[in-house]
Amino acid sequence: MKIGPKFKIAKRLGAPIFEKTQTQKFAVSAARVGQKKKNVRPGQMSDFKRQLLEKQKMRFTYGITEKQLRKYVDESLEKSAEPIQFLMSRLESRLDNVAYRLGLAKTRRLARQMASHGHLTVNGRKFTIPSHQLKIGDTVSVREGSRSSALFVTLDESHTGITPAWLKFDVKKLEGKVESRPIYEPSETLFDPEQVFEFYSR
């Protein structure tokens, strides 16, 4: 999915939703914009604009299309009494996101490319679909033929060793496992899922 100038998009949305904007440079730039706005009479943001911003934050965070997000939202409303938890679980359980969370890639975009190029396997089988939904017990590994790639040869040294509680990763084996269902923590996201549901319910 082609996104566009990430720095400008992040500034427009008011959140460092891309890895390249999670820097001191972006923080300083955002602070300057905020200071300028203090000297301007604030206009009241409409509900629609607020909901649209939150929807865009979610979409760009996970690097998915409008069509994909709408599908996830509809599915969450149809299949669960807890649609927010269901939606976040769907987003977090994507193969590309799990690869990112395991630390196999520094960005979700790179993780998506890894999956698309066939570098990853699920339960020993090669998958090239980044949106593939992983289940509890599934194992994600780097394909044997890809382990000598520059993407992975130094991972043992560069990996932070930090993974979410619902995942387990063995950096020596380049293998991770889904231990439990992802749990949504509002404090860990840069967007409000409730506003996203409000946007699509219009």
Report the chain's C-alpha Rg in angstroms.
18
Phi, psi (deg, nearest 5) at residue 44: -75, 125
Token duo for residue 1: 């999915």
Instruction: Name the least confident of 26-40, 43-57, 67-81, 92-106.
Output: 26-40
Domains and CATH numbers, the chain: 94-178 (3.10.290.10)
Other beta carbons less than 10 A from residue 81's beta carbon = 6
More confident residue, 34 or 6: 6
CA distances for 92 relative to 5, 99, 158, 188, 194, angstroms: 24, 10, 23, 12, 17
Tens of pLDDT along 10-47? Answer: 666 776 666 656 555 555 555 555 555 555 555 688 99
C-alpha dist (Å) from residue 198 to 48, 182, 190: 9, 23, 17
Q: Give the separation between CA 37 and CA 48, rounded to whole angstroms.
A: 21
